[in-house]
Chain A
């Protein structure tokens, strides 16, 4: 049994009056051991981030504060330790890395200066010694050209590089504990895999204890030695990774794990031989201008060709910058393109004018990603859903009646009609968005990351709804996502995109078991946890 580094004893964090519950977390017991990675997993609102911040006394006081309990570290109770003792510990004995590396770094200081700051606060090393140590750490996190990195500003580095720099900053003084607050959530899946690997590598090398906050069970499967599951402020299950993942005991844990889509595709479906309903030929789109004084040009789509058959679900998969969202918007004509053809049922809609496009709109509709930005905050739900038909000539009374029927179809109560978007949760808003898209009775539904902003338990419900509706209304669906697990479960065929091009397209089973392109292989290999649900409990 390795040594205890930090222990949370009945930790309770109080919230200000008016919050949805009195305490963010209640009676948390957690033990962090040397050389072990402990993952604290929970959905949004579980309080996991606050637990991480409370250890170093970084709670947004005075409204959020530690109500009761102890945080035992090196013989001290950090919950009541004076500020000067806390400052001595922060950055030196306990290091922390955060979710958004762009905003977590001061935009006006060079990377070198920000790393140097840690050494200036806690040591009395001279300038040369500090520089040497900084270069050493930057090298250990595998950042190329350390002397150039030192002189660079945060905006000159990529997201992955910034996170590596933050890790270097946190490990400068060899802390006993590293707290990582969702450090990979904002990164692309391939970058995420690299960062997870890096954390694991450094942790093993130095015997650091790691508290890793996450919402992703795949990450837990990849990196955790021990797991603690948080449900709305209560610790419901705790144990080794193998035990919790392989044989969970608490119903919440079981439900969460069941909601995570498996990476292994379901049984192969019969091949779809229906005619094409959407064909994109050689679509090109560039952003930016070459002005007189220079300018930046980005190629979003570099000649993309793809087809969607009637009744199938085609997945567009890729990382940020792949062009998948641009392509989705191009096909729905929400975006003008620079070249190429878009055939809808055989007719080219790429160059149609606004007026000519109007009837086309009824055939292709989009479901958007952000449940909080996709509904007009000042309109009632019934008006949001009925707006489409009203624009196209349906008398308002009839449109509203149909809207009510759609609300029922997407599983919402009739009383939702008169309310405003802010009164609904993320999952409910997505349902409303789906209802709005269905109001015009389209043939094709383009879903742009429809579940990416939702918690995993809500995600599975919305995906089930989409599958149900698609079957009932005989829709064809273009499904854009960066999450391979979702794509594998939902899509009949998958098209993998990279930097504005389709690198591979094949039926799901084929692309999973027999990927051809190196990027496809890399993408599948990078999915955290891989096929952990099918592994035996250890």
Chain B
């Protein structure tokens, strides 16, 4: 693992991604300091173009776009990371049980996983949020519900291949219990794959959250980048900045996270061929 992280540090694009993410984290932490007022409150005259007092302009009601974006960062991160963690837990359990016990259990679990991978993800997430009433928690549930299958397939694949590896058989031969084999031997050997795929999943989660917010399914009590964009649609002709800047924020965030994910993948799962 240690040399994996050393390899990561040498990858320039990955470091760029890490830098972006670091800036984002700083922004999230410093937001209450830089923009102490509620972003939903009116801060100035409506539809001010960017520049001067309002770095990124104001929106249709006169709210500070920069403040909105700053608070929106927190929402995206919470939902993105939260949903991904939930998806990893669900997926790892499902895939792990399937891959370890094989047989009938595996077939049933994999059919269920395939089912959830087949149904249209965005529409399903949409339905869940609509039914459970839009809120941060319902968004996390919805996004986790459509993201877990890819983790499940990954973990199941890893467990199946590890199960055939001789060191696992040797453990069974020593008389080790299932729990010991799974937690002490198999999971640590999958960890790097899960991390690599999981980090890419965060990016997808953030895009999903933005889409949901854009359609009006975001938590009405928190600021969200998708929400700002949807509000700015009506005045696209005259006030282009309202739609533009939150989108750039989404792009940079997801890009940064994807670069880190790619970098982690390269570092922790080095391939034999040269890149």
A and B physically associate? yes
Binding site for B on A (CB under 8 A): 63, 329, 332, 334, 357-358, 361-362, 365-366, 368-370, 373-379, 387-388, 391-392, 433, 436, 440
**A373 and B188 in contact (CB under 8 A), knowing A334-B172, A334-B173, A440-B174?**
no
Q: Are B174 and A391 in contact (CB under 8 A)?
A: yes
Q: Are A361 and B170 in contact (CB under 8 A)?
A: no
Query: Contacting A377 at CB < 8 Å: which of B171, B174, B189, B274?
Result: B189
A256 CB to closest chain B CB (Å) equals 28
- Chain B residues, CB < 8 A from A358: 175
Q: Other CB < 8 Å A-B pairs besides A362-B175, A365-B173, A375-B167, 5 of them?
A: A329-B169, A366-B169, A368-B170, A387-B171, A388-B175
B214 CB to closest chain A CB (Å) equals 43
Cα distance A387–B185 in the bound complex, in angstroms? 11
Cα distance A174–B37 in the bound complex, in angstroms? 86
Q: Are B176 and A387 in contact (CB under 8 A)?
A: yes
Q: Are A392 and B175 in contact (CB under 8 A)?
A: yes
Cα distance A358–B180 in the bound complex, in angstroms? 14
* B271 interface residue per 8 A CB criterion: no
**A374 and B166 in contact (CB under 8 A), knowing A63-B274, A391-B180?**
yes
Q: Are B173 and A366 in contact (CB under 8 A)?
A: yes
The B83-139 residues at the A interface (CB cut-off 8 A) are: none
A279 CB to closest chain B CB (Å) equals 20
**A357 and B167 in contact (CB under 8 A), knowing A378-B188, A391-B180?**
no
Q: Are B169 and A334 in contact (CB under 8 A)?
A: yes
Report, as a range, how many residues of chain B touch the other chain.
Answer: 10 to 19
* B237 interface residue per 8 A CB criterion: no
Q: Are B274 and A373 in contact (CB under 8 A)?
A: no
Cα distance A365–B188 in the bound complex, in angstroms? 25
Q: Are B170 and A374 in contact (CB under 8 A)?
A: yes
- The proximity string for B residues 189-213 relative to A, scoring 1 for CB distances below 8 Å and 0 otherwise, is 1000000000000000000000000
* B165 interface residue per 8 A CB criterion: yes
Identity of the chain A residue whose Cβ is nearest the Cβ of B172 in the assembled complex: A334
B169 CB to closest chain A CB (Å) equals 5
Query: Contacting B189 at CB < 8 Å: which of A63, A376, A387, A388?
Result: A376
Best-surrounded residue of B171, B175, B176 (most CB of chain A within 10 A): B175
B195 CB to closest chain A CB (Å) equals 14
Cα distance A370–B170 in the bound complex, in angstroms? 12
A515 CB to closest chain B CB (Å) equals 32
**A373 and B174 in contact (CB under 8 A), knowing A378-B188, A391-B180?**
no
Q: Are A373 and B167 in contact (CB under 8 A)?
A: yes
A285 CB to closest chain B CB (Å) equals 16
Q: SS class of chain B's interface: helix, strand, loop or mixed?
A: helix
**A361 and B175 in contact (CB under 8 A), knowing A376-B189, A378-B188?**
yes
Q: Are A369 and B175 in contact (CB under 8 A)?
A: no
B10 CB to closest chain A CB (Å) equals 14
Cα distance A387–B175 in the bound complex, in angstroms? 10
- Chain B residues, CB < 8 A from A368: 166, 169-170
What are the 9 tightest A-B residue pairs by CB atom distance, in nearest-first order?
A361-B175, A374-B166, A388-B174, A368-B166, A358-B175, A376-B167, A373-B166, A373-B165, A378-B188
Binding site for A on B (CB under 8 A): 165-167, 169-177, 180, 185, 188-189, 274
Q: SS class of chain A's interface: helix, strand, loop or mixed?
A: loop
Query: Contacting A361 at CB < 8 Å: which of B167, B174, B185, B189?
Result: B174
**A387 and B174 in contact (CB under 8 A), knowing A373-B166, A374-B167, A375-B167?**
yes
Identity of the chain A residue whose Cβ is nearest the Cβ of B1 in the assembled complex: A378
Cα distance A509–B185 in the bound complex, in angstroms? 44
Cα distance A516–B177 in the bound complex, in angstroms? 45
Identity of the chain B residue whose Cβ is nearest the Cβ of A379 in the assembled complex: B185
Q: Are A361 and B171 in contact (CB under 8 A)?
A: no
- Chain A residues, CB < 8 A from B177: 391
**A436 and B166 in contact (CB under 8 A), knowing A388-B175, A392-B175?**
no
Q: Are B170 and A366 in contact (CB under 8 A)?
A: yes
Cα distance A524–B11 in the bound complex, in angstroms? 55
Identity of the chain A residue whose Cβ is nearest the Cβ of B176 in the assembled complex: A391
Identity of the chain B residue whose Cβ is nearest the Cβ of A377 in the assembled complex: B189
Q: Are A436 and B170 in contact (CB under 8 A)?
A: yes
* Contact sample, A vs B, 18 pairs, CB 8 Å cutoff: A334-B169, A357-B175, A361-B174, A362-B175, A366-B169, A368-B166, A368-B170, A370-B166, A374-B166, A375-B167, A376-B167, A376-B185, A376-B189, A378-B188, A378-B189, A387-B176, A392-B175, A436-B170
A239 CB to closest chain B CB (Å) equals 37
Cα distance A373–B165 in the bound complex, in angstroms? 6
Identity of the chain B residue whose Cβ is nearest the Cβ of A436 in the assembled complex: B170
Identity of the chain A residue whose Cβ is nearest the Cβ of B164 in the assembled complex: A373
Cα distance A388–B177 in the bound complex, in angstroms? 11
Cα distance A445–B50 in the bound complex, in angstroms? 78
- Chain A residues, CB < 8 A from B180: 391
Cα distance A376–B171 in the bound complex, in angstroms? 9
Cα distance A328–B46 in the bound complex, in angstroms? 80
Identity of the chain A residue whose Cβ is nearest the Cβ of B175 in the assembled complex: A361
Cα distance A433–B173 in the bound complex, in angstroms? 12
- Chain A residues, CB < 8 A from B167: 373-376
B124 CB to closest chain A CB (Å) equals 31
Identity of the chain B residue whose Cβ is nearest the Cβ of A369 in the assembled complex: B166
- Chain B residues, CB < 8 A from A373: 165-167
Cα distance A378–B189 in the bound complex, in angstroms? 7
A328 CB to closest chain B CB (Å) equals 11
Cα distance A376–B169 in the bound complex, in angstroms? 11
- Chain B residues, CB < 8 A from A369: 166
Cα distance A173–B176 in the bound complex, in angstroms? 59
Cα distance A235–B146 in the bound complex, in angstroms? 61
Cα distance A440–B185 in the bound complex, in angstroms? 19
B146 CB to closest chain A CB (Å) equals 31
**A332 and B173 in contact (CB under 8 A), knowing A63-B274, A378-B189, A391-B180?**
yes
- Chain A residues, CB < 8 A from B189: 376-378
Cα distance A378–B171 in the bound complex, in angstroms? 14
A137 CB to closest chain B CB (Å) equals 33
B117 CB to closest chain A CB (Å) equals 23
Cα distance A114–B115 in the bound complex, in angstroms? 40
A372 CB to closest chain B CB (Å) equals 9
- Chain A residues, CB < 8 A from B176: 387, 391
